[in-house]
Structure 1
């Protein structure tokens, strides 16, 4: 098993409607995620915790657990998960093909990146950027 980070910030996403397993599959297809760890709750139905590595970074996720106040709230409007990648167009196209909704078309931006945004099927917003190659 790969080592988890010992420092830094790791987003932990809560997935509503017992769609955690579906989310794992989506992130594998959309962002080439590597599932490093996956634990199912004692009920055998819900994903208690999973650790994923995406493009060198980490995220964790679980199904909602209302009995632990781990219920899924609507994704905060002020939160966007950013992926800095080698080819924003290719990564965005792959995410959309996997089921993400394009919310900002990839384009050249003043700060020197090609940049766009998608929303995943679980209500989380992702921005995707790569350096402009000239």
Structure 2
């Protein structure tokens, strides 16, 4: 069993390229053209989907909501490096990488309005 969220975005084709640059995501599957696509990406052993927002179908982008409905945690070995790559690719840093609540993590908002935490546990997880 796995959990694979789908992010609804404006400019879906551009979003795929952002996630490739920002996190090294690999495109596993892609159908459609331009921004009218559905794509499955993988970072490490985690997969997620990108598709075009469509308010008529109830699929709203963060821009249409004036903010995202959730935050996604991307667990990586080197949060400082991935955070730097994400900002260089166009994300906005909300909080720099620091040690917090047993994690080394930072927070960004990607160019499509989705909020992410990028981090790793500092020690064994979950704690005893």
What range describes the TM-score normalised by the shorter chain of this pair? 0.7 to 0.9
TM-score, length of structure 2 as denominator length: 0.83
- 2:64 is aligned with 1:76: no
For 1:30-49, list aligned pairs within 5 A.
Answer: 30-40=22-32, 44-49=33-38
| Rg larger in structure | 1
Unaligned runs of 5+ in 2: 124-128
For 1:5-44, list aligned pairs within 5 A.
Answer: 7-16=1-10, 19-40=11-32, 44=33
- 2:56 is aligned with 1:64: no
Q: Secondary structure of 2:3's partner?
A: coil
Q: Is the 8 A contact 2:12 2:34 kept in 1?
A: no
- How many residues of Structure 1 are paired with residues of Structure 2 in the alignment? 120
Q: Secondary structure of 1:35's partner?
A: strand
Cα distance in 1 between the residues matched to 2:83 and 2:35: 29
Cα distance in 2 between the residues matched to 1:24 and 1:45: 11
Cα distance in 1 between the residues matched to 2:106 and 2:82: 10
The structure in which a higher percent of residues are strand is 2
Alpha-carbon RMSD: 1.9
Cα distance in 1 between the residues matched to 2:34 and 2:88: 28
- 2:115 is aligned with 1:103: no
Residue 125 to residue 71, structure 1, CA distance change in 2 (3 Å): closer
Residue 71 to residue 109, structure 1, CA distance change in 2 (3 Å): closer
Q: Secondary structure of 1:117's partner?
A: strand
TM-score, length of structure 1 as denominator length: 0.80
Cα distance in 1 between the residues matched to 2:34 and 2:55: 14
